Structure 1
């Protein structure tokens, strides 16, 4: 796609996606959208889907490789740079209770998603895993990271992202309500752990926890970032398991092992960020660049998604996400209470 005779068209496609991404970031700053905890990634995929089902036929076909490049190559770079949001010091600060709750809820939710999705609801493995990743780890960003590892398609990714929007938004309304009712016996730190270990997106964690208190919000964000850190071993295990599955299903003993090198790059950036070699202002700039690249990748995936394909996925991802949501609320409270009880 970057050969001399195609390079200009590919770059035009990338620039086309970047314009949509800029629009998504601006729209996400509208007060009511920001208050609802809807991230630029979500706005981006919605804009992409809107374009794919209205004006896509007006795009020169030669630009399509640029959209594909944005949805896959730029995605990997964005996942690597996501490490600038996390430091080892922040993860260690939450203690064993926070780390343990985050790890247990992440792993149990992902395993439950696969079992319920594939064996109870009869879903395809990719959609079940993507839906589980969105609920278990870090919403849309986790879905994007899983997509290339399990060879998912654009409409499967879009369906999984839609579940994050719905149930993450409900979380932002539900958790402050539960706190006000006083029916859950949790301390201030316990509430931070509970929200951080069970709410989908980082923005949604902030939205749910900030209504309760600043200390709760700070603890919740750190626990949430611990869940994000767990994406590295999870992607490595899923990549190994997926290769084994392909061997069984195709009877091919030489099925390639999908090693998500970008996950190792993400870990490397986390370690580098933990050394605090860059000034805070420069780290913030890199975070903004990463947010833009993630939005580009999500927008490009939306541009590859038609409503017809989404209809083919059906309602099952939402049923699965609802079951996982119930587990996150009940199971998350139980684990938080047990690990923080004194």
Structure 2
């Protein structure tokens, strides 16, 4: 490093090359992670490459944190920030308005009620009961309420929070979402849950964390339940856009209020932090709904998008330090447990109420 820094005229060149090397390193790491996640033992558990990526990245970042050249850090940061925004936007190609219409008002109502209630309860429980900071509470709530790790990434970008806070939220998604994959089908087959096909689809899709986890759990019930559950889950994913806009407005107002109370200049007052990637997500939902792209192109873009999200999660893991997680880990996990209890009890009550209303 000292040799490179001594050549001032070429510093920007070496910096750019270091960033590119960092991005390539993350890409290679993510490729290995993707192969690892495809192993039957891992794929059979419904654990997506995104989850494997943040775990593997965190292990590398903590065990071998001195093994990567410092100049590559900019590339890792690019992957964990800018690349994830692009990837979240392209997540919109997985949703269509026609699919949402298939489950009708029942599916939309369950999705809205679950998302809003879980966000409110999670933020309140995290901040008031568990004494977490606002960002950690919101990230944990978002992962449980909307679409797991992808929602955590989107909120992390909007809130501009620290990587270790996102890692704690993803940890909650991994633990409780994986539990759901086994407990939900078991409860159905054991007769603890008395739900018909529509009810099972609404409940599974409305309350399980990750898309892959929803599919994994519902596939143990019936193909019809899996279809309904997947569409309901994607309806929750659609709610990412309006929720991010509301959160962006709230964060903007909070920052303005904080500036006013401590007497610092309010340069950002009145400005709404609109997450452009959320608008891109919505635009691509429309594109997917209009069938502008051939199916093969959409499938290829979705595969590339999954890889980009895996890169972002891997980079996020590399930037995470276990010592930072340890400080708030138990409280964040307790918040996730409270939300999980709500998703089961409250989510079931919402499902039964909505099904009765629209039957």
TM bracket (short chain): over 0.9
Residue deviations 1:116-147 (CA, integer Å, cap 9, x gap): 11111111000000000000000000000000
Aligned-residue offset at 1:180: 1.1
- Distance in 1 between residues matched to 2:24 and 2:297, nearest whole Å: 25
- Distance in 1 between residues matched to 2:232 and 2:307, nearest whole Å: 24
Q: Which residue matches 2:179?
A: 170
Q: Which residue matches 1:9?
A: 18
* Partner SS state of residue 25, structure 1: helix
Q: Which residue matches 1:272?
A: 287
* Partner SS state of residue 81, structure 2: helix
Q: Which residue matches 2:212?
A: 203
Q: Which residue matches 2:267?
A: 254
Is 1:135 aligned to 2:144, yes or no?
yes
Is 1:144 aligned to 2:153, yes or no?
yes
- Distance in 2 between residues matched to 1:333 and 1:54, nearest whole Å: 42
- Distance in 2 between residues matched to 1:161 and 1:250, nearest whole Å: 31
Aligned-residue offset at 1:159: 0.6
Matches within 5 A, 1:182-221: 182-221=191-230
Q: Which residue matches 2:302?
A: 287
Is 1:114 aligned to 2:123, yes or no?
yes
Aligned-residue offset at 1:257: 3.0
Aligned-residue offset at 1:54: 1.5
Q: Which residue matches 2:109?
A: 100
Aligned-residue offset at 1:3: 4.4
Which region of structure 1 is more displaced relative to structure 2, 307-316 or 92-101?
Answer: 307-316
Aligned-residue offset at 1:254: 3.2
Q: Which residue matches 2:30?
A: 21
Q: Which residue matches 1:74?
A: 83
* Partner SS state of residue 254, structure 2: helix
Residue deviations 1:75-99 (CA, integer Å, cap 9, x gap): 0110011011111100111110011
* Partner SS state of residue 172, structure 2: helix
Q: Which residue matches 2:94?
A: 85
* Partner SS state of residue 278, structure 1: coil
Unpaired runs of at least 5, structure 1: none
- Distance in 2 between residues matched to 1:23 and 1:287, nearest whole Å: 19
Residues 8 and 308 from structure 1, CA distance in 2 versus in 1: closer, same or farther, beyond 3 angstroms?
same
- Distance in 2 between residues matched to 1:213 and 1:300, nearest whole Å: 37
Is 1:232 aligned to 2:241, yes or no?
yes
Equivalent residue in structure 2 for 1:316, among 331, 344, 348? 331
Matches within 5 A, 1:151-166: 151-166=160-175
- Distance in 2 between residues matched to 1:67 and 1:74, nearest whole Å: 10
- Distance in 2 between residues matched to 1:314 and 1:136, nearest whole Å: 19
Is 1:62 aligned to 2:71, yes or no?
yes
- Distance in 2 between residues matched to 1:165 and 1:316, nearest whole Å: 16
Residue deviations 1:176-198 (CA, integer Å, cap 9, x gap): 11111223332201100110000
- Between the two proteins, the alignment pairs up a number of residues equal to 341
- Distance in 2 between residues matched to 1:41 and 1:96, nearest whole Å: 31
Aligned-residue offset at 1:17: 0.3
- Distance in 1 between residues matched to 2:206 and 2:134, nearest whole Å: 24
- Distance in 2 between residues matched to 1:254 and 1:93, nearest whole Å: 46
- Distance in 2 between residues matched to 1:3 and 1:146, nearest whole Å: 31
Q: Check whether the contact 2:130–2:332 (CA below 8 A) recurs between aligned residues.
A: no
State the Cα RMSD in Å: 1.2
Equivalent residue in structure 2 for 1:125, among 128, 134, 158? 134
Compute the TM-score of the two structures, normalised by the length of structure 1: 0.97
Q: Which residue matches 1:53?
A: 62
- Distance in 2 between residues matched to 1:177 and 1:59, nearest whole Å: 45
Unpaired runs of at least 5, structure 2: 1-10
- Distance in 2 between residues matched to 1:62 and 1:14, nearest whole Å: 11
Aligned-residue offset at 1:259: 1.3
